[in-house]
Amino acid sequence: MVPEKRKKGTVPFEGKKGDGLLWSGDSPRSSFVGDNTDRGGKTMSSLDQARATQLRNIEAKTGKTLELLRALLAGSGLAKHGELRSWAMQHFGLGYGDANTLVHLALASDGQSAAEAASLGTDDVLAGIYADKKAALRPVHDTLMTRISSFGDFEVAPKKGYVSLRRKKQFAMIGPGSATRVEVGLNLKDVPPTDRLLAEKPGGMCQYKVKLASPSEVDDELVGWIRRAYDAAG
């Protein structure tokens, strides 16, 4: 069976010019195959797909392979993350989010890149987060990531017990709060709390929290709150 040829198009994005995911067809030097498979043909999670899409678009924007980009960063003479990010923005024409992800990849300095350096896929990391009694909550997480991935460019950084979603700053945290619920932490301002959108104590990593028990609770109201946090973090 002949695979369907990808049509050219763009990934919609609202935010600062240069920070969005721009897609204009497959790069001839792309390191990824298809939308939802890795180089070995294994189906990826929605988290891996978001990461692969961003990296593939970095290759398309720069016209360089990830291997070459990492080599150029290594040869820049810089060591600090922020300096490398600024250098990548200047020399490769990347937006903040893409440059930040590229440097994390080069340095293996975020959870996902470190896991990849240890030959662990994001699925392996998430399997640890949603292990044993929490395994039934994984569909809630995957449904959330599918909806959020439609927003545009952002970083996904697996942490101990949750994943952090970032643009210029963190806009959401997703992870199991117990064996029966997933908790979504949101960085929002000037939004009145509700019975569902629970205000957190001042000084925490997020201002609000939403508790979910099933994928059906990932509705337009929740996605709207997450989108508002996403837009504010750009």
pLDDT in tens, 28-81: 222 333 344 444 454 454 556 777 888 899 999 999 998 899 889 888 888 888
Q: Where are the beta strands (DSSP E) in the chain?
A: 155-158, 163-166, 170-176, 182-186, 198-199, 208-212
> Per-residue pLDDT for 14 more than 70?
no
Beta strand 182-186 with 163-166 is unpaired
Question: In the structure encoding, which two tokens stand for residue 192, read together?
Answer: 């009145």
pLDDT class of 120 with cuts at 50, 70, 90: low
Domain ranges of the chain: 124-232
Mean pLDDT over 143-172 rounds to 88
Cβ partners under 8 Å of residue 66, min gap 6 = 31, 55, 58, 59, 102, 105
Mean pLDDT over 5-28 rounds to 32
> Per-residue pLDDT for 106 more than 90?
no
Q: What is the pLDDT of residues 166-218, one digit of tens each?
A: 888 899 999 999 999 999 999 998 899 999 999 998 878 899 999 999 999 99
Given the structure tokens 């064996």, which residue do they identify? 179
Got the DSSP string for 84-145? HHHHHHHHH---HHHHHHHHHHHHT-SHHHHHHHTT--HHHHHHHHT-GGGGGGHHHHHHHH
Give residue 29's identity as a one-letter amino acid code. Answer: R
pLDDT class of 227 with cuts at 50, 70, 90: very high
Check residues 184 and 14 and name the one with the higher pLDDT: 184
Q: Give percent above pLDDT 90 in the chain.
A: 43
Residue 20 pLDDT: 32
Residue 97 pLDDT: 85
Q: Which of 189, 182, 184 is nearest to 233 (CA)?
A: 189
Distance CA 6, CA 33 (A): 11
Mean pLDDT over 121-147 rounds to 87
Share the mean pLDDT of the chain.
Answer: 77
> Per-residue pLDDT for 3 more than 50?
no
3-state class (DSSP) for residue 157: strand
